[in-house]
Amino acid sequence: MALVVVGESIMGKWQNMANRIAKLASIKPQLQMVESNFSPMYNEGVTVIAQPPTRRIVQINMEYRGEEGEEPGYNGNFFLSFPLMYFRIQYKRYFEKNKEQFSASSLHVIFAVADNKSKAFIPPLPNVDDLMRVCIELPKKRFSNVDDLYKAAIDCFWSTDFNDGMTIALYQYDCDSLLGNHRKWQNKTKKQPIWIPNGRSLKPIENFDKKFFYGSSFKKDIQPEDEYEGYC
């Protein structure tokens, strides 16, 4: 009889943990605009959005992993813990029947470990290039305000099928490291519900261009240079 009670207790604990994980995965943490710069001369601007640490289910499909495919790939939905993230959305303004319309032209993302905009870390995710630009298809529609635009762009990020079409950022992490292997990353997330990636496991972005990322040049009606424009 005691064994039955213990078994039920263990099953109850696992069920409670599963319910907590499902709840965490369904929560959309509040987004906060931390920077907004616009150039009336060029009708272009940049808005930077902070997303606090969160746990999300992301779809990752890797046919192979590592240089020249020496490691077997994996695919599926992965439950991962994410640190503070900053999304940079560059957009264009149009006028239709004297009404403002906005469309996204590029999306960048970085990881951070504190509310310090001078420090930036490489996201260990596919579909991110060496400029931290997210190489996915952005919403093609035009929006009547910037708030709706950045929310749609970030939703597009989280719903994307991350794959090995672009692996520049991901391959900055060794495939045997905690964050370089999404299976290990997921195991750590599930075993330690309060854990979030930190500076000991994240790779810093060398020569991080703070002015470019936060679009401060738009204040002076100067477009930031993007030498890989159209690369994605």
Look at phi and psi of residue 154 and say left if phi exceeds 0, alpha if psi is from -120 to 50, else beta. alpha
Under DSSP, is residue 220 helix (H, G, I), strand (E, B) or coil?
helix
CA-CA-CA-CA dihedral for 122, 25, 22, 163, to nearest 10: -60
Write phi, then psi, for 202 (nearest 5 degrees). Answer: -100, 145
Looking at residue 50, its pLDDT comes to 96
Name residues whose C-beta falls within 8 Å of residue 143's C-beta, 6 or more positions apart in sequence: 101, 102, 103, 149, 152
d(CA 104, CA 97): 20
Q: Region 176-198: what's the mean pLDDT?
A: 94
d(CA 123, CA 198): 12
Q: Render the burial of 186-221: b for 16+ CB within 10 Å, e for the rest.
A: bebbbeeeeebbeeebbbebeebeeebbbbebbeee
Q: In this structure, what token pair is assigned to residue 122?
A: 């490489």
pLDDT digits (tens, 9 = 90+) for 76-88: 999 999 999 999 9
d(CA 40, CA 220): 10
Domain layout of the chain by residue ranges? 1-27, 31-219
Under DSSP, is residue 216 helix (H, G, I), strand (E, B) or coil?
helix
- Whether pTM exceeds 0.95: no
Residue 197's identity, in one-letter code, is: P
Share of the chain above pLDDT 70, in %: 79
Looking at residue 1, its pLDDT comes to 40
Q: In this structure, what token pair is assigned to residue 218?
A: 């738009």
